[in-house]
Amino acid sequence: MGMSLLETIRSPRDLRDLNEDELRQLSREIRAFLVDAVSATGGHLGPNLGAVELTIALHRVFESPNDAIIWDTGHQTYVHKMLTGRAKDFDRLRAKGGLSGYPSRAESEHDIVENSHASTSLSYADGLAKAWELRGELSKRHVVAVIGDGALTGGMAWEALNNIAGAKHRPLVIVVNDNERSYAPTIGGLADHLAALRTTSGYERFLDWGRQRLERVPMGSPIYETLHGMKKGIKDVIAPQGMFEDLGLKYVGPVDGHDLPALERALSRAKGFDGPVIVHAITTKGYGYAPAENDEADRFHGIGVIDPMTGRSTVTSGPTWTGAFSDELVRIGDQREDVVAITAAMMAPTGLTDFAQRFPKRVFDVGIAEQHAVTSAAGMALGGLHPIVAVYATFLNRALDQVLMDAALHSAGVTFVLDRAGITGDDGASHNGMWDMSMLQMVPTLRLAAPRDGASLRQELGEALDVDDAPTVVRFPKGALPEDIPAIAREGEADILRRGENDRVLIVAVGGLVGLGLEVAHTLEQQGIGATVVDPRWVKPVDPALVTMTKKYEAVITIEDGVRVGGVGSTIAQAMRDAQITTLINNHGIPLAFLDQGKRAEILLECGLTAEHIAQSITKTLLSDSGLPIQKSTKSEFNQV
């Protein structure tokens, strides 16, 4: 049995010798490969099924890596990886040490940037084109940015478009991969505009027809020029692509994103243009795979391990953090009419679907526009509502200025619910929600809660919604909801989870790592060292009662699933210094580094966030304090305050 066509593709150059029938066969093989490979590992299946022909066409028309192809978001680059020699590595997709689920500069010279946050590709492309122009290289190389219609709802993309359009002499190709959805159907004015483009005749075809007719009559050319000069009024009726042309961008399309010859013609026209040009390709997310095409929710945007025949998950899952939040939000919605919810194009992933179905007028999807989401929420709070902004923790990074200046400065009662906080793992460095607790420590008046279980999530969300004069944050990790961990007492804001009469160590465990804190205490107990375990519940501001509590112990241990630099442990240490408390403090958390992809447990182990490692560091700390020599750990920082 001979090799498949896909097996013969080791670089984009191999595509150029294939005829039309072979290219269609290759497209079928790629889709079959995608379904089999991603079903086994999980990943972004739907976006890649929809981008097969577009990716092939890009690599046949342009010469990567001499020509730069920059992918927005990056989750639709699986086909790009296959065509650049990485198909053999898909059995380790998103696994530790394996193939990244996004572009990776370490993997290939064909991966220009590692952007896995949306709406950035146009800015990268603008900067690269400017650099090549100044270096005299732009006449020999092309810059191509591939961006989805969902990513075009982000304000950063339009800031870039404004700059790109301002340089009419600088060639740059923008490919809009329009599948009518990001995670879910794309919303807003831009979505309506693109929908109109899909259903109206092409403006250029109309003008070509008019030119041909008018040039046959006396004075036809001047009449045509007059008509062309009046195009604004005509194009708004005939072809809404005029919006892009008004920006100074040449427009090609719409073109069928699954018609390879048509795509190649459109891209070739764009390649030969001496200024910025948009190629508008209409694709279908999940194309060619019936279970995805029939899934109207998100068309298999991101999947876990599934049966490739049915598209159904093969993993049995119990209650999740997101599900617990979703249930509680619906209950709150029944009781409080002032509570509304905002999503940045992630209704289902952040648990807002049930609330939206019950209260459709009280949910606002702003598109992939986190900055606008925050400031719009502040406006709602000023208008007497209490908005909940539900977003992945990593994506709040994009709106820090708005949290600081638009919400906190204005004493706006906005509650941010941060899903996927802490280490998420499989999607790599950009998706770990590890920055929020450090980043938000510097926001005056803001209060931040880190629930440890479903019961504390419900309680702390309710407490957050009772604050109307400052922003509040409730953060929780990805995945399964742990069993409830009851408190034996409360001191100040903190829950006491474990305490003995002669405890030497105070363990302050935060949020999703409270269970780890209890494991550490159990390990120490087996070594004859008693430990009290507390959950501070509200980690910002630091509770004065917790600071006072630290006086009673020989050592304080903090455990958090956020960056140690500027995090909860660091803030507690500062509060102890301010109170002139000299108890030893040992802070455990995530190092200040971009973490490689891997399962959550693998990354926790690398960070030293295991019961064995933390217990060992505590015993060394206590031995050090008694004057015995020790070897300092490389994974923890010891501070005396």
Nearest-angstrom CA–CA distance, 166 and 169 = 9
Edge-to-edge strand ranges of the sheet holding 472-475 = 363-365, 339-343, 386-392, 415-419, 472-475, 447-449, 538-540
Nearest-angstrom CA–CA distance, 447 and 472 = 5
State both tokens at 366: 């702003």
Instruction: Spell out the long-range contacts of 405-411 with Cβ–Cβ below 8 A and sequence spacing 24 or more.
Output: 406/374, 406/375, 406/378, 407/374, 407/375, 407/377, 407/378, 407/381, 407/471, 408/443, 408/444, 408/445, 408/446, 408/470, 408/471, 410/378, 410/382, 411/445, 411/469, 411/470
pLDDT score for 620: 85
Indicate whether 593 and 454 sit together in one domain. no
Q: Is the pLDDT of residue 213 over 60?
A: no
Domain end position, chosen among 475, 504, 534: 475
Please tell me the least confidently modeled range out of 294-303, 407-416, 448-457, 535-544: 294-303
Q: Name the percent of the chain lying above pLDDT 90.
A: 56
CA triple 99-101-105, angle to 5 deg: 70
Q: Is the pLDDT of residue 212 over 50?
A: yes
Please provide the DSSP assignment of 335-389 as one string: H-TTEEEEESS-TTTTT-HHHHHH-GGGEEE--S-HHHHHHHHHHHHHTT-EEEE
Q: Is the pLDDT of residue 559 over 50?
A: yes
Average pLDDT over residues 106-124: 86
H or E stretch including 625? helix 611-625
pLDDT score for 7: 87
pLDDT score for 310: 64
343 Rama sector, left if φ>0, alpha if ψ -120 to 50, beta otherwise:
beta
Q: Is the pLDDT of residue 300 over 70?
A: no
More confident residue, 93 or 18: 18
| Domain assignment present for 306 | no
* pLDDT band at residue 207 using 50, 70 and 90 as cut-offs: very low
> What residues form DSSP beta bridges with 638?
586
Indicate whether 496 and 449 sit together in one domain. no
Average pLDDT over residues 245-253: 77
CA triple 109-113-114, angle to 5 deg: 110
pLDDT score for 205: 47
Q: Are 248 and 272 in contact (CB under 8 A)?
A: no
State both tokens at 546: 């917790």
Indicate whether 325 and 259 sit together in one domain. no
- CB atoms under 10 Å from CB of 452, counted, come to 26
Nearest-angstrom CA–CA distance, 107 and 32 = 24
In 3D space, the residue among 346, 231, 263, 332 whose CA is nearest the CA of residue 298 turns out to be: 346
In 3D space, the residue among 430, 364, 434, 375 whose CA is nearest the CA of residue 403 turns out to be: 375
The position carrying tokens 């803001």 is 446
Most confident of 10-24, 153-167, 444-458: 444-458
Q: Name the percent of the chain lying above pLDDT 70.
A: 81
Indicate whether 101 and 73 sit together in one domain. yes
Task: Count structural domains, the chain.
Answer: 3
Phi, psi of 483 (to 5 degrees): -65, 150
In 3D space, the residue among 393, 418, 611 whose CA is nearest the CA of residue 517 turns out to be: 611
Nearest-angstrom CA–CA distance, 551 and 576 = 9
pLDDT in tens, 391-406: 999 999 999 999 999 9
Q: Is 565 exposed, middle or buried (0-12, 13-18, 19+ CB in 10 A)?
A: middle
In 3D space, the residue among 400, 351, 516, 540 whose CA is nearest the CA of residue 464 turns out to be: 540
State both tokens at 443: 């926001």
H-state helical runs in 62-102: 78-81
In 3D space, the residue among 510, 445, 509, 517 whose CA is nearest the CA of residue 475 turns out to be: 510
| Domain assignment present for 95 | yes
Beta-strand (E) ranges in 187-287?
Answer: 250-256, 276-282
| Domain assignment present for 452 | yes
Write out the residue range of the structural domain in which residue 374 sits.
321-475
Indicate whether 528 and 612 sit together in one domain. yes
Residue type, 489: A
* pLDDT band at residue 237 using 50, 70 and 90 as cut-offs: very low
Q: Is the pLDDT of residue 72 over 60?
A: yes
| Domain assignment present for 483 | no
More confident residue, 153 or 85: 85
Catalytic center residues: 285, 370, 398
pLDDT score for 242: 57
Nearest-angstrom CA–CA distance, 342 and 219 = 58
Q: Mention every residue, 6+ apart, whose C-beta is less than 8 A from residue 173.
A: 142, 143, 144, 145, 267, 270, 271, 276, 277, 279
The enclosing domain of 381 has a CATH number of 3.40.50.970
More confident residue, 545 or 428: 545
| Domain assignment present for 423 | yes
Q: Mention every residue, 6+ apart, whose C-beta is less than 8 A from residue 569.
A: 508, 558, 559, 560, 585, 587, 588, 589
| Domain assignment present for 314 | no
Please tell me the least confidently modeled range out of 169-183, 207-221, 548-562, 566-580: 207-221
pLDDT score for 279: 92
- CB atoms under 10 Å from CB of 276, counted, come to 28
More confident residue, 510 or 631: 510
Indicate whether 271 and 146 sit together in one domain. yes
181 Rama sector, left if φ>0, alpha if ψ -120 to 50, beta otherwise:
beta
Q: Is the pLDDT of residue 98 over 70?
A: yes
Average pLDDT, the chain: 84
| Domain assignment present for 541 | yes
Please tell me the least confidently modeled range out of 28-32, 61-65, 183-187: 183-187
pLDDT score for 367: 86
Q: Is the pLDDT of residue 210 over 60?
A: no
pLDDT score for 165: 87
pLDDT score for 117: 77
Going by their DSSP bridges, the two strands 531-535 and 494-498 should be labelled as antiparallel
Q: Is the pLDDT of residue 101 over 90?
A: no
In 3D space, the residue among 117, 182, 89 whose CA is nearest the CA of residue 428 turns out to be: 117
Indicate whether 501 and 356 sit together in one domain. no
The enclosing domain of 504 has a CATH number of 3.40.50.920
- CB atoms under 10 Å from CB of 195, counted, come to 15
| Domain assignment present for 570 | yes
pLDDT score for 194: 47
Q: Is the pLDDT of residue 219 over 50?
A: no
Average pLDDT over residues 414-427: 91
In 3D space, the residue among 587, 548, 538 whose CA is nearest the CA of residue 567 turns out to be: 587
Indicate whether 470 and 567 sit together in one domain. no
pLDDT score for 209: 43
Domain end position, chosen among 444, 475, 506: 475
Q: Is the pLDDT of residue 383 over 90?
A: yes
Q: Is the pLDDT of residue 634 over 50?
A: no
pLDDT in tens, 426-463: 777 778 889 999 999 999 999 999 999 999 999 999 99
